[in-house]
Amino acid sequence: DIVMTQSPDSLAVSLGERATINCKSSQSIFRSSYNKYSLAWYQQKPGQSPKLLIYWASTRASGVPDRFSGGGSGTDFTLTISSLQAEDVAVYSCHQYYSPPYTFGQGTKLEIK
Amino acid sequence: EVQLLESAGGLVQPGGSLRLSCATSGFTFSDSWMTWVRQAPGMGLEWVANIQGDGSAKTYAGSVEGRFTISRDNAKNSLYLQMNSLRVEDTAVYYCARSAWALDSWGQGTLVTVSS
């Protein structure tokens, strides 16, 4: 199974500041037929279902604010929130859909400092 | 609008069985891969199983293989998860999700508690 490891486990950032969450896959998740990395990011606010933010490592899902961006290559990926807003308090999880079982990272809890 | 609605979960004794349903609307169900994901209390997300649009391909997490069965009824736009030989560690909120490679739409989740 592909292991997805996020860092840090928790993060506190001041409003308006940048937040960066890391995700490392235990092996390549590059889908050559699409020339893209099979990686997604989800946001889960307290008491809610997860919401897709980013897919193919860097494509924002419909309606996601442009302060959210995804990047990375190889086996290292990042989710960046350029200017943290109060409504961004949530747990963020990465997810590989390259090879079943399609594993998730353990989640990163983002809070306001 | 895409909608996914899981049936009520419940309390089950260890070794027992439970069948979850997920009713869908707002998209062409038969064209869509579908997935079950679970989340134990206070824990992260765990991918459980998925199924191809025509039901011909299914994949399971190792932790549930041989105990859980994913299925679908395209005439009813519904997804199912039959859970047998339930263990305490299967206690979780279970989500159904539409898989367009990534999981782009999720249900609200249903709590399954396995306890004596």
Q: Using a CB-CB distance cutoff of 8 angstroms, which residues of chain A are in contact with residue B95?
A: 49-50
For chain B, the distance separating the N- and C-terminal CA atoms, rounded to the nearest angstrom, is: 40
Give the pLDDT confidence of B21-37 residue by residue, as tens digits: 999 999 999 999 999 99
The closest CB to that of A50, out of B45, B50, B99, belongs to B45
Q: Which residue has the tokens 């299925």?
A: B71
Summarize the confidence of residues A3-20 as an average pLDDT: 98
Summarize the confidence of residues B76-103 as an average pLDDT: 97
Partner residues linked to B112 by β-bridges: B10, B92
CA distances to A74, A98, B22, B53 from A39, in Å: 11, 8, 25, 22
What pLDDT score does A46 carry? 93
Whether residue A12 has pLDDT greater than 90: yes
Q: For chain A, which residues lie within 8 Å of any Cβ of chain B, measuring from their own Cβ?
A: 1, 38, 40, 42, 44, 49-52, 55-56, 61, 91, 93, 95, 97, 100-107
CA distances to A13, B4, B16, B18 from B36, in Å: 33, 12, 19, 14
Taking the alpha carbons of A23, A29, A34, A35 in that order, is the dihedral positive or negative?
Answer: positive
Give the pLDDT confidence of B15-74 residue by residue, as tens digits: 999 999 999 999 999 999 999 999 999 999 999 999 999 999 999 999 999 999 999 999
* Token reading at A100: 């079943």
Q: Using a CB-CB distance cutoff of 8 angstroms, which residues of chain A are in contact with residue B104?
A: 52, 55, 61
What DSSP designation does A97 have?
-
Give the pLDDT confidence of A26-82 residue by residue, as tens digits: 999 999 999 999 999 999 999 999 999 999 999 999 999 999 999 999 999 999 999
Q: Which residue has the tokens 């299914």?
A: B58
The rounded distance, in Å, linking the Cα atoms of A108 and B99 is 23
Contact state of A104 with B108 under an 8 Å Cβ cutoff: no
